[in-house]
Copies of this chain bind each other. A is one copy, B any other.
């Protein structure tokens, strides 16, 4: 069981792309205890649409991320509705007036949280999936000396142009809904959120997943029935989703004062041991991109998840074999 959910307020924070929210906050939870020598800390940030409770599927006494051994910090990314977000920030920085936040903004605030608040002085591992993987790459590059290992799952060091195009359609799904009203809605833009899910349905799983009929295993007779299924899980706030989409579209570990857009240099700086785990059938973080990124990294292994689950490979509720494979891989990396 995690400790209680906590929130830390940083006060005035200068963001990378302008905008100075007066009181940026990170919401987080922890598992286990920090060792006296501080050598057992693991950071596990959330991903697009994810929130801290969803991260627990890889944490527990039966997992590599064992709270009896590790001090695991799960941090909500900015814009996800738990940490500072359009939906929970007071005017004048609320809704679409919430400033753009970058992957590096997240990483810098996480470092302040870990170092200044939680007493962590070194990270044994940063692990994350999707946008969380982008944070892991950023940590390994920007704060290479502070991290022993990174394990990015189904993510990239820089958002590819193709991924950017896909995300542009996801953004438009929300902003095209007339009830979105430039972000100043009274009720969530329901049609836009449905459209987002529909577009996602095509991208987040793979052709092979659907070919095998795995989408029908939940009790649907036809693909159309599957598409017409009721919404599952909590409704997310449209402006929060848009904030996260901006962060994702502009993710680039080299877009900062250290690397000035030189991605190979930013990748070469990842001296922590890295296990880079794309899924064979991920349609927007394809393994070809990971292969190119790994080729620039001095201490990285590429380990492809051979799964038809596409971008969802190894995620909560996906194939147990893939999750076990991830778990073993985390153990491998931690023992190396």
Contact = CB atoms under 8 A, between A and B. Distances in A.
B207 A286 contact: yes
A166 B205 CA distance: 11
6 contacts: A160-B210, A162-B206, A168-B227, A169-B195, A172-B195, A207-B288
Interface residues of A, number: 37
A248 to B, nearest CB: 13
A162 B195 contact: no
A207 B207 CA distance: 15
A195 B213 contact: no
Contacts of A227: 165, 168
How many copies the complex holds: the figure is 2
Given A199-B199, A207-B288, 15 more contacts: A161-B211, A161-B215, A162-B202, A162-B205, A164-B224, A166-B202, A168-B202, A168-B224, A169-B199, A172-B195, A172-B198, A178-B178, A207-B286, A207-B289, A208-B288
A168 B199 CA distance: 8
A208 B168 CA distance: 18
A177 interface: yes
Nearest to A207: B162
A319 interface: no
A165 B202 contact: yes
Contacts of A224: 164, 168
Secondary structure type dominating chain A contacts: helix
Contacts of A173: 195
A168 to B, nearest CB: 5
Interface string A273-284: 000000000011
Contact of A211 (B160, B168, B178, B195): B160
Contacts of A283: 207, 283
A211 B172 contact: no
Given A215-B161, A283-B283, A168 B198 contact: yes
Contacts of A160: 207, 210-211
